[in-house]
């Protein structure tokens, strides 16, 4: 059998090849897409930066404004208010707060929160910074371990020991306030030895409690039988006060004391033992009749040095916790929570 090779068709009869161009997205379209991605990233970043991580319940939110009211810890601004709303039960306000990375770990479950507002009196002016800039939210960290859920209830005012400087803390009860306020001096023989730090109204409403701090060099003057009374004396003394506000120094006259008010204390000849911190005294309506003749010898009592047996026991059990100190005030500081 003879094999024949087929004759190929002429080239003119074959279909012509048509090149196909791939469609490419024009480079100009990439710019809007990239811009949208950048805008979306920054929008997400801004949202996460303003997302609240602390909720604070207040009885009164007057002057608190979103993105204007600062939040401070030990005088350092660590956050801001992001939202203010009425509480669901209508008994107060709920404030949303955004703390930064340095302030968030300090918001422990036992931290104290309060609103700092300006206070004026005949003898002193405090919180003047908030007079121009508005109130601020302050908090003081506690000792517990931070937790994820951070919801707090603000105190009605600064903590009783917020202005303490390490002196001897005393609680002085009185029937009336009688114009005594934080900053009122405590005097021994006319010499200031301490001051009133704060005051509280107990739940039972039968008295007023003044929290006073006695400076450590004078703490030994307060004994078990010391007597406290309220003293008022009319004087007139004008001086000036210098305050730094927003970088400006402002001087204005202050009525130092149109009515000189103080808490005086005297110790009798049989003084008793030195008192410990958080001791309670009752304010008298008038000084003792013969207090000017009292002349006790109030030499400080030095604590005895630990014995070798006590040192050995302390070295053997360095981590043994001390016995908890009972609360000497009982229910004096049991306040009604308006949010319950």
Average pLDDT for residues 293-319, to the nearest whole number? 68
Evaluate whether 216 touches 233 at the Cβ level (below 8 Å). no
CA gyration radius for the chain?
35
pLDDT at 197: 86
Query: Using 50, 70 and 90 to split pLDDT, how confident is the model at 166?
Result: confident
Evaluate whether 267 touches 225 at the Cβ level (below 8 Å). yes
| CA 316 distance to own-chain centroid | 38
pLDDT at 127: 52
pLDDT at 323: 46
pLDDT at 110: 87
The CA–CA distances, whole Å, from 291 to 173, 174, 285 equal 20, 20, 14
Average pLDDT for residues 170-190, to the nearest whole number? 90
CA distance 118 to 78: 21
Q: Among 11-25, 60-74, 264-278, which stretch is predicted with the lowest mean pLDDT?
A: 11-25
Share of the chain above pLDDT 70, in %: 61
Asked if pLDDT for residue 170 goes beyond 60, the answer is yes
Choice between 315 and 184, residue whose per-residue pLDDT is larger: 184
Q: Among 6-10, 143-147, 319-323, which stretch is predicted with the lowest mean pLDDT?
A: 319-323
Query: Using 50, 70 and 90 to split pLDDT, how confident is the model at 303?
Result: low
pLDDT at 340: 35
pLDDT at 5: 61
Structure tokens belonging to residue 170: 């005393």
Average pLDDT for residues 271-285, to the nearest whole number? 93
Query: Using 50, 70 and 90 to split pLDDT, how confident is the model at 232?
Result: confident
| Three-class DSSP labels, the chain | CCCCCCCCCCHHHCCCCCCCCCCCCCHHHHHHHHHHHHHHHHHHHHHHHHCCCEEEEECCCCCCCCCCCEEEECCEEEEEEEEEEECCCCCCEEEEEEECCCCHHHCCCCCEEEEECCEECCCCEECCHHHHHCCEEEEECCCCCCCCCCEEECCCCCCCCCCCCCCEEEEEEECCCCCCCCCCEEEECCEEEEEEEEEECCCCCCCEEEEEEECHHHHHHCECCCEEEEEEEECCCEEEEEEEECCEEEEEEEECCCEEEEEEEECCCCCCCECCCCEEEEEECCCCCCHHHCCCCCCCCCCCCCCHHHHHHHHHCCCCCCCCCCCCCCCCCCCCCCCC
CA distance 196 to 85: 35
Asked if pLDDT for residue 235 goes beyond 90, the answer is no
Choice between 199 and 96, residue whose per-residue pLDDT is larger: 96
Evaluate whether 201 touches 332 at the Cβ level (below 8 Å). no
pLDDT in tens, 185-194: 999 999 999 9
Torsion of CA 241, 186, 209, 231, to 10 degrees: -90
The CA–CA distances, whole Å, from 30 to 43, 164, 258 equal 20, 63, 76
pLDDT in tens, 13-64: 656 666 666 666 566 667 777 777 777 776 666 655 557 789 999 998 888 9
pLDDT in tens, 86-119: 988 888 899 999 998 888 888 888 888 989 886 6
Q: Among 112-126, 224-238, 295-309, which stretch is predicted with the lowest mean pLDDT?
A: 112-126
pLDDT at 316: 54
Asked if pLDDT for residue 73 goes beyond 70, the answer is yes
Average pLDDT for residues 209-230, to the nearest whole number? 93
Buried b (16+ CB within 10 A) or exposed e, 116-152: bbebeeebeebebbbeeebbbbbbbbeeeeeeeebeb
CA distance 158 to 190: 29
């Amino acid at each position: 059998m003879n094999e024949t090779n087929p004759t190929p068709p002429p080239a003119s009869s074959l279909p012509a090849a048509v090149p196909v161009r791939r469609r490419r997205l024009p480079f100009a379209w990439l710019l809007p897409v990239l811009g949208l991605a950048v805008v979306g990233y920054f929008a997400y970043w801004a949202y996460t930066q303003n997302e609240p991580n602390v909720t604070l319940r207040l009885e009164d939110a007057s002057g608190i404004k979103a993105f204007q009211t600062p939040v401070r810890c030990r005088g350092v601004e660590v956050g801001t208010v992001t939202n203010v709303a009425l509480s669901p039960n209508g008994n107060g306000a709920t404030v949303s707060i955004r703390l930064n990375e340095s302030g968030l770990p300090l918001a422990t479950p036992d931290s104290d929160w309060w609103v700092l507002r300006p206070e004026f009196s005949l003898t002193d002016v405090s919180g003047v910074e908030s007079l121009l800039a508005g109130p601020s939210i302050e908090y003081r960290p506690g000792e517990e371990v931070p937790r994820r859920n951070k919801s707090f209830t603000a105190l009605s005012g600064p903590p009783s020991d917020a202005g303490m400087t390490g002196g001897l803390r005393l609680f002085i009860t009185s029937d009336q306030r009688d114009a005594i306020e934080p900053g009122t001096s405590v005097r021994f023989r006319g010499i200031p030895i301490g001051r009133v730090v704060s005051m509280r109204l107990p739940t039972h409403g039968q008295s007023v409690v003044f929290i006073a701090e006695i400076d450590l060099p004078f703490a030994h003057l307060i004994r078990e039988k010391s007597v406290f009374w309220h003293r008022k004396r009319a004087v007139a003394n004008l001086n000036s006060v210098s305050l730094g506000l927003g970088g400006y120094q402002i001087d204005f006259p202050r009525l130092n004391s149109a009515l000189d008010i103080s808490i005086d204390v005297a110790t009798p000849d049989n003084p008793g033992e030195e008192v410990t911190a958080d001791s309670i005294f009752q304010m008298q309506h008038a000084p003792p009749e013969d207090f000017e003749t009292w002349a006790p010898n109030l030499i400080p009592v030095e604590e005895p040095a630990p014995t070798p047996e006590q040192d050995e026991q302390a070295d053997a059990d360095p981590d043994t916790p001390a016995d908890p100190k009972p609360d000497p005030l009982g229910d004096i500081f049991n306040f009604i929570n308006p949010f319950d």
